Amino acid sequence: MSDSNCYYQRHIFFCLNERANGEASCSQHNAQAAFDHCKQLVKAAGLSGPGQVRVNKAGCLDRCAGGPIAVVYPEAVWYSYVDQQDIEEIVESHLKNGKVVERLLTPADVGR
């Protein structure tokens, strides 16, 4: 852990929002399954816990047009993912090795 005031080195937040009015939302794109898969991978890799990585659920992150969405902090790197292989790549490359997965970045202008 590089900063003694930092409880976790990184957080990854998955939007699990579901809109009741039928508007596009991350929950329609298997976001819960992606969250579950990420949590399982992080734990299996020995990356979970204080000083390492925390996998969190989030409500709407207001970038629905790029969904499903996940964001990694403290780097504030936004990802749009499609399948389990994308999640595996984010875990291995970014969460484990600190290397951003450029091909999965959410374009800066994508919002709701």
Kindly list the structural domains of the chain, giving each domain's residue range(s) and its CATH number in brackets, ordered by start. Answer: 10-104 (3.40.30.10)
Stated length of the chain: 112
- Reported as a single tens digit per residue, the pLDDT across 25-73 is 889 889 999 999 999 999 999 999 999 999 999 999 999 888 899 999 9
Q: What is the mean pLDDT of the chain?
A: 91
According to DSSP, residue 65 is labeled G
Work out the pLDDT band at 1, boundaries 50, 70, 90: very low
Average pLDDT, integer, range 90-108: 96
* pLDDT(2) > 60: no
Three-class secondary structure of residue 55 per DSSP: strand
Specify whether the CB–CB gap between 70 and 14 falls below 8 A: yes
pTM over 0.75: yes
Which of the four pLDDT bands, split at 50, 70 and 90, describes residue 19? confident
pLDDT of 74 strictly over 70: yes
Q: Is the dihedral of CA 72, 78, 81, 85 positive or negative?
A: negative
Lowest model confidence (mean pLDDT) among 22-26, 85-89, 103-107: 22-26
